[in-house]
Structure formats: structure tokens, C-alpha cells
Structure 1
Amino acid sequence: MKRREFIGLIGGASVTWPVAVRAQELPIIGLLGANSSSTQASWTEAFVERLHELGWIAGSTVAIEARWAEGRSERYVEIAAEFVRMKVAVIVTSGGSAVLAAKRSTSDIPIIFATAGDPVANGLVASLARPGGNATGLSIQSPELAGKRLELLLELLPGLRRFAFMVNVNNPSTPAEVSEVQAAARKLGLEIDKLEIRRAEDIQQVLASLKDDVSALYVQPEPLTTSNGPQIGALAQAARLPTMYGNDANVRVGGLMSYAPRFSDLWRRAADYVDKILRGAKPADLPVEQPTKFDLVINLKTAKALGITVPLGLLARADEVIE
């Protein structure tokens, strides 16, 4: 099966291989997509492409079952339980809440996380060097990222004094992220309005409650905000609010700017972990790794819609400009 054909298949709720293929009892990779299939399409494509390079070809040497939670935390438990019943060889997912749901569902099936905030603090692993247990993968914990994002916002908006910070209070990574952003804001002399959400229906309400002196919106990078990127982008534009994100997916659907680890690279590296697991390695023995590539992405269409002129120096440093 060609890679492009496979990518088309995983856009649905699941991937079901022909009886003849399943009869071969291929190892099954359970892909628990915390976001929507369209939101993380480029990341998933990078994952599948790397698997192919390593000899794991969908429908030939491995089967892949994909399910999409679309940022709804209750779906994590349902999907993880389904994968346990299917006796998949490995579960691949991202984000602390999804990984925790998978870990609560099984202590035996290996779990690989393509991204996680602070896996030690969240109880996903015992330590970065020696994870222990059945989970390992890639951590995107990096306290300096909050400061870097706020510095970029200040470069774009020199008069910025107060910004809103949208967080999902149900995400286990939120307390650490809030502390990092608050510390960075104090250092830069900025004030914060924290916007707490728990579900998609809260987004419009919290944005409608913003005070007049809020000049920008900083959005926590996590599945609920990522899956609802189009809604957040549209509402922010209507409120004339420049936005800063922690992943590029939101910028591609109307956000203004992101500075973040290169998520497609993290998903490629997650495939390396899966390769080792399928060849007999144990998650407990595979150290948690950190990002090595970071991207600044700017959406000039959004900047134009907001009436913002992006400084040439900022554009020159951008890894990608969407026009």
C-alpha cells in the first residue's frame, strides 16, 4: 500500500485492514490521536513515513489502527481500553492526559508518547534516563520556551503590557506551564489574564470576557486548544487579538505566530521508538529524549487581517512564513 493511500485511510475514525492481512497476525500499532486527524495530519504522515523507512509498511509488515479523540479527554480512556482489548503491540499517542489514560488502561502494553510536557512530574516515567514502567518517548518540557514566545510577542507588539493566557485546567501539564508563563511575564514586566477552559464550549465564553486592555492571546499547546484551532483563530481575529501558540498547527488554521519544537520531527522520532519496541526493546530501558529542532512560524495572512505589520527582522528569522 502506498504511503499516500494510507494517509487517506487514517483520516477516518479507524483503519481496518482486509481479512487476509489481519489473518497474518501482523503486529498492531494503536495510534491514539489526541487531536483531530486533520489537525495532526502532517505529524502522522511524518510518523508513517519514518516507519516505512525502517521497514514497517502498513498492511504488509505492520497493521495500524488509528482513533481520533479530537481533544475530548473522555475519549482517551475509551480508545485506550479498545486498544487493550485488541491486544495491540504498542500504543502511540501524545500529550500528558492521553498518555496517562493509556497507562491507567494497561501496565503491559508499551506506550510511546510523541510529545509530553513534564513526564516525570506527571507520573509518566520514573526519570528521563530510566523511565521504568511501560511508557517512554519525547518530552517537550522547556521552561525557556515561555520566555522566548513572550519576547517574540513583544518584538511584534512593542507596546504590549497585558495578554490573555488560555489554558485547559484538566490537562496535567497546565500547572507547570502556568508557572513558566507567569515567571517569564514577571521578568518582562507583563500582566496576565488567565482564561480557563475545560471543553470546547468554554472557548467563546472566555474570549468574550476579556478586558479591553488585553492586547494579545497566548494559547497553551495541548489537544483541546489544538483541535479547536480554527475556532480560536476566528474568535481572536474577530476580537483583533494577535495570537501566540506552542505548535504550528494552530497557525495554519488562522493563528498568527508560533514558536515550538518541530512536531513532525518528534513524530518521526516516535517511530524510531516503535521500531525498537517491535524488535524487542522494553520501554523501561529507552531514555526519554528532548526536542532538537525548533521553528518560528508566522501567518502573514492573519497579520494582514489584523492590520499588523510584522517587522522585517522577525520575518527574516522565521523558519516558515504562510502567505
Structure 2
Amino acid sequence: MLTSGVAIGSISGAYGQQTAKPPVVGFLVAGTQASHGAWVAAFVERLAKVGWTDGRNVKIEYRWGAGDVRQITEFAAEFVRLKVDVIVTSAYGVVAAKQATSSIPIVFAAYGDAVANGIVASLARPGGNVTGLSIQPGELSSKRLELMRDIIPNVRRFAALVNTNYSGVTQEVIGIRAAAARLNVEANILEIQTADDIDAAMATLTGETDALYVYSEPLTNANKAKIIKVATAARIPTIFGFREFVDAGGLISYGANFIDLFARAAEFTDKILRGATPADMPIQQPVKFDLIINLKSAKALGLNISETFLTRADEVIE
């Protein structure tokens, strides 16, 4: 699998030796090579399996947005100027690409409620130039809070770190508040928009919350080391949507398998490169969901997680 930033970002000199110009895929990565590199590599690997190899019969141009909305918007406009054949992206990159072009096909590897956010007309018939894989953030947020209650039965208040720049945040917050009311716990929504906002938000947590729910998207993913370091020092249990947060020392994650989503996005891209139109390609949803628990983090926090709960996990990091 292609994993290194150098390998992912390189463009082969073979293009100059080809007589026919290969199609160009503009990969607008919402995060960084550290946060999204493995997902991008899964896309590249699957794309090669279905017949498109970077440097041979397709050219992939990469732009890394690092969770910066302004930078992502500029990259989307750049791809339009370059007249790429298809744009592949996720998260806020979907909004930026949609705003930049109504003609270049767009494939999103992961996005929230694409219908509610006006990205597509319907799941079955998207219409327009956008298709891909949609997750349902409100439903998942409710499940995560239930899992948090199972691990921390005495939780009475929790903080939710959410990036208000991300268009899917509305459904996420609705789901968080609804689940909190049902579980009879207090929800404190901490709004952020930049990396600097994260520092200020995290500084308010000590002694004020029993757990931290992190809305997992490119900005928080790119800054996960900082988030986890502060939460661990304050002995605050954490729950996330991406397993990468748990690999980095977070307590628990539950959500769609993003390696699988990005690999499946390559299949959409393949069809478009062969002549299909996004308007007629139904939006798909995740089929793999993972519950990951970091037992080392639990022990550091003084949490005893029952064997019954551990058996529910898809993976336990020890």
C-alpha cells in the first residue's frame, strides 16, 4: 500500500513519454498526510486494482488542506483552473468543490447528510455533478454517547468540541443534544473554527466536565495529538468518530471505517473516468462500523472497563 507522503505526492515523469494525455484526478484532501495519508493510500490502491495507475494511465494531483477552510477553498478553485477530469474529496472539501464548479464531476469519500446540506437532490438520484459516500452524523453521535455512558456510568456532564465551519455540524449537534437529554446528562458545546480555538476550548475543561466528545473532522483530526494530550493530563475520558484518535492515545472511537470509504470512492472515480455521470450514480452509505478501545488509555485514566463491554469492541489496543 502507498503510505509515505513523498510517494503519495509524487508525479511520475512518465507522462512526458506518453502520446495520449492521461485523465487527471484532483485529490482535495481535507486533512494532512499524517491524518489522512492512510485513507488516501487506500483510494490509490483500489484505483490501481480497477485499472488506473498513477504515472501510467492516470495522473493524480494532491492538495492537502490541513483542516483550513480558506486553503481548501483555494485548492478547489485551483483544480477548476487546471480543468481536472474529476475531483475527489471529503468533509468541507465537498462544499468547497461544489461551490467552485457545477460541471467537473465530484466524488466525496465521506460526507455528512448530503441531502439535508443541499449537496445532492436525493440519495437515489443525486442530480448535478456530485456523488459518493454519505454518513449520518446525528445517528452516530447518539450511539457514541450511549457507549460513553456504558463506560462511564456516573457521567453527568460532558463537553463536545465541534468545528462550526463544517457544514455537517448542525446534524451532529442536534444528535448530541437529543442523546444528552435522553440520557439525562448536561451537554456543553465548545465551538471552534481554527487550531488556535482548540487551545482556548481545551483550557476550560479541567474540573468542568466528566468526558470529552470530539466531533471528528479534518481540523480536529489534524490536531488530535494536542487534544488528547490535554484531555489525558486532565484525566478526562475521550470519545471520537475516527479510530486514528484512539491509535494516538484517545480512549474510544465509534464510526464508519474510513479506509473502506476511501477505497470505495475509487470505484466511483473509476466509473466516472469510464464515462458515467454523477447525476445517475446513487449515493452509498457505510457498511463497516468499528468500535475501538484503547485499554492503555483506560488504565491511565483509572477506568475499569468490563469484559462484557470489551467483547463488543472490534479492536482493543493494549
- TM-score over 0.5 for the alignment? yes
Q: Which residue of 1 aligns with 2:150?
A: 155
Q: Which residue of 2 aligns with 1:26?
A: 22
Q: Which residue of 2 aligns with 1:230?
A: 225
Shift of 1:175: 1.3
Q: Which residue of 1 aligns with 2:89?
A: 93
Q: What pairs with 1:1-80 in structure 2 (closer than 5 Å)?
A: 3-4=1-2, 8-10=6-8, 14-18=9-13, 19-20=15-16, 24-80=20-76
Q: What pairs with 1:1-323 in structure 2 (closer than 5 Å)?
A: 3-4=1-2, 8-10=6-8, 14-18=9-13, 19-20=15-16, 24-95=20-91, 97-210=92-205, 212-323=207-318
The letter of the residue matching 1:314 is F
Shift of 1:144: 2.7
Question: Residues 20 and 195 from structure 1, CA distance in 2 versus in 1: closer, same or farther, beyond 3 angstroms?
Answer: same
SS across alignment from 2:35: coil
- Does the CA-based 8 Å contact 1:163-1:217 persist in structure 2? yes
Take 1:23 and 1:196, find their aligned partners in 2: how far apart are those partners?
52
- Does the CA-based 8 Å contact 2:138-2:174 persist in structure 1? no
SS across alignment from 2:195: coil
Question: Residues 240 and 211 from structure 1, CA distance in 2 versus in 1: closer, same or farther, beyond 3 angstroms?
Answer: closer
Take 2:158 and 2:250, find their aligned partners in 1: how far apart are those partners?
15
SS across alignment from 2:276: coil
Question: Residues 80 and 22 from structure 1, CA distance in 2 versus in 1: closer, same or farther, beyond 3 angstroms?
Answer: farther
Query: What is the aligned-residue identity percentage?
Result: 51
Take 2:248 and 2:6, find their aligned partners in 1: how far apart are those partners?
20
The letter of the residue matching 2:58 is V
- Does the CA-based 8 Å contact 1:92-1:112 persist in structure 2? yes
The letter of the residue matching 2:130 is A
SS across alignment from 1:38: helix
Shift of 1:322: 1.9
How many residues in Structure 1 have an aligned counterpart in Structure 2?
A: 317
SS across alignment from 2:134: coil
TM-score (norm 2): 0.95
Q: Which runs of 5+ in 1 are unaligned?
A: none
Note the alpha carbon deviations across 1:217-266, whole angstroms, 9 max, x for none: 00112111111111111111111111000111211212111000111111
Q: Which runs of 5+ in 2 are unaligned?
A: none
- Does the CA-based 8 Å contact 2:161-2:192 persist in structure 1? yes
Note the alpha carbon deviations across 1:106-139, whole angstroms, 9 max, x for none: 1111000011111112121111111111111011
The letter of the residue matching 1:62 is V
